[in-house]
Structures are given as C-alpha cells and as structure tokens.
C-alpha cells in the first residue's frame, strides 16, 4: 500500500501550526543512522528504528493523517495539538514517553524512546509467567490507564499489542491514537483494525467517541487477555462472528483453568470484569482508579 500523505497541509505545515506546545525534533534525528525498513506496522502507521544525534535510540512512528485547510481543519489541528501536548507531559513508569514530533520521509512522526523488549501480545504466548506475575502486569497496566484518565487522556485502543515490555520487565502503554482519530477526525491507516474489535466496547461499534468508560471496557478485555494468554472471544472465527456477540452483550467465557470456580482471587477478579468493567452502559462502569484500588487490595492479599 503506498504511503498516504496529508491532502492539504504538509507535515511541515502541521508542525508549524502546532507551534511550541510539542517539541519539533526533526533536526535532532540522525537520519544517516535511521533504518530504511520499518520494524513494525503499528495501529496507526509504520514504526522505524533510529537515533537522535546524541545517540539516543528512538522509535519513529509515521502517522497517516489528513487535515484540510479552513475552519474545520483549524479546529482539528487544535484538538490534535492539545492531545499530543497532554501526552508529552505524561510522566509515568508504565507509559511510553513522547520526546516530540518530527518530519520523517515527508510524513508527520511521533518520536519516543526505543523500548528494547517485545510487545506483550507476543510475550504472552512464549513466556511461562505465573498467575501472580500476570496479575502484577495487569495491575501495572491499570495503573497506567488510571494515570491517563486522571490527566483527562483517553487511550482509545487498549490491548496487549499496545503494551511493550522493557528489558527490565516493565509494561509500558504505547499507541495513543484512536482517541485522536475519533475525537478530531484525523485519519490514520491501520492494517489491524479488524483484530481490535475483540477488545472494543459496544458503544464504539455503534459510532460513539472513545471515552474513559470505553477505555475501561477494553482494559477489562486486556486483563482477560493477560491472564489467559488468549485474545477475547478466541473461539470465534473472524470479526463478523465477534461483533454480533459484543452487540448482544454476550461476554467471553470464563476459563476454568485461569479463573477456577471457588478460588477467592479468581472469583474476585472475574466479578470485577463482568460486573464492573463490561457493564453495558459506559457511565455505569467502574473507573480505572477504583479498579486499581480493588486490584491492589487483592494483590496485597495474595
């Protein structure tokens, strides 16, 4: 698929209009040592490995973005700038840091530190983590989402593919993109949108914008994925089998292996998922902060 560039505003113009809210690090990229071939095709653009001139290894995420000139485009730009600015100010051990924005290969790119580990999706299928280790990863992930929501940031695409594990074994959230797309009408390309359906809240499928509530729903599905090592609705073939189940309110089956009946910890977590995270109404769902508190209580009792 050929690259998709902005129709009216170039990457350089977008950076100029964002102004000083987010640092332009184009001149700091060591282009001679940035890899020519992508490392990954992420949720909203290709990811390249490169370096800053000071030797810092970085991830270069090219965004496929459309912003037209005119009043509507200006409004979109303002919203985009505000959200990226908010991310650049995040300071949490479980959230990937945004160094700045840049122009790379005539595209707008987000620059963040390169995290040496693999994504959690792949590791779940190769690592023999104990239940306790998986629960701790879940708790750290919830902690990151609670922090984002406290800062009034919606992630919008929570799943294990968007959680990287550092070489030190610390999970870090990446890919702050869906909320930007849906809230500000920016169009990023995604080759994996079909797979995302397994984690998405029913109101999103109905066309609603991502919210804290929809994040919590997806967070619950991500917790399920971490604990079981399988994607939600793993037994169903294709998105057209999954979507009707989500819309009719059919929840994933409880795995006896990972959530044995009669086990206090398993019963407690399953009750949180089914009775708090996956409630139909987004405003009726538990907050990420409340979920974190309840999970930490259970962690201390283990």
Q: Which of 46, 157, 175, 215 is catalytic?
A: 157
Closest to 160 measured CA to CA, from 214, 110, 224: 224
Rg (CA), the chain: 19
> Are the CB atoms for 197 and 242 separated by under 8 Å?
yes
Taking the C-alpha atoms of residue 23 and residue 46, their distance in angstroms, rounded to an integer, is: 21
Cα distances (angstroms) measured from residue 133 to each of 102, 150, 213: 37, 26, 26
- 157 carries an active-site annotation: yes
Q: Known catalytic residues?
A: 157
């Amino acid at each position: 698929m050929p690259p998709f560039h902005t129709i009216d505003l170039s990457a350089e113009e977008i950076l100029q209009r964002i102004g000083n809210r987010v640092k332009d690090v184009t001149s700091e990229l060591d282009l001679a040592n940035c890899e020519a071939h992508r490392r990954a095709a992420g949720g909203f653009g290709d990811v390249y490995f490169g370096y800053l001139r000071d030797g810092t290894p970085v991830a270069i995420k090219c965004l496929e973005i459309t912003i037209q000139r005119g009043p509507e485009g200006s409004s979109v730009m303002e919203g985009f700038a505000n959200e990226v600015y908010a991310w650049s100010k995040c300071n949490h051990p479980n959230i990937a840091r945004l160094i700045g924005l840049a122009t790379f290969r005539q595209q707008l790119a987000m620059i963040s530190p390169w995290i040496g580990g693999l994504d959690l999706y792949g590791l779940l299928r190769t690592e023999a983590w104990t239940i306790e280790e998986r629960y701790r990863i879940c708790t750290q992930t919830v902690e990151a989402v609670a922090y984002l929501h406290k800062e009034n940031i919606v992630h919008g695409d929570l799943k294990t593919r968007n959680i990287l594990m550092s070489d030190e074994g610390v999970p870090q959230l990446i890919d702050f993109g869906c909320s930007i797309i849906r809230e500000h009408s920016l169009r990023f390309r995604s080759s994996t949108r079909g797979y995302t359906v397994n984690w998405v809240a029913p109101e999103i499928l109905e066309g609603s914008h991502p919210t804290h509530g929809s994040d919590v729903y997806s967070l619950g599905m991500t917790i399920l994925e971490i604990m079981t090592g399988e994607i939600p609705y793993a037994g169903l073939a294709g998105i057209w089998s999954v979507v009707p189940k989500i819309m009719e309110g059919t929840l994933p089956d409880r795995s006896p292996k990972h959530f044995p009946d009669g086990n206090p910890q398993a019963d407690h977590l399953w009750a949180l998922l089914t009775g708090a995270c996956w409630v139909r109404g987004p405003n009726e769902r538990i907050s990420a902060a409340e979920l974190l508190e309840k999970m930490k209580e259970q962690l201390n009792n283990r």
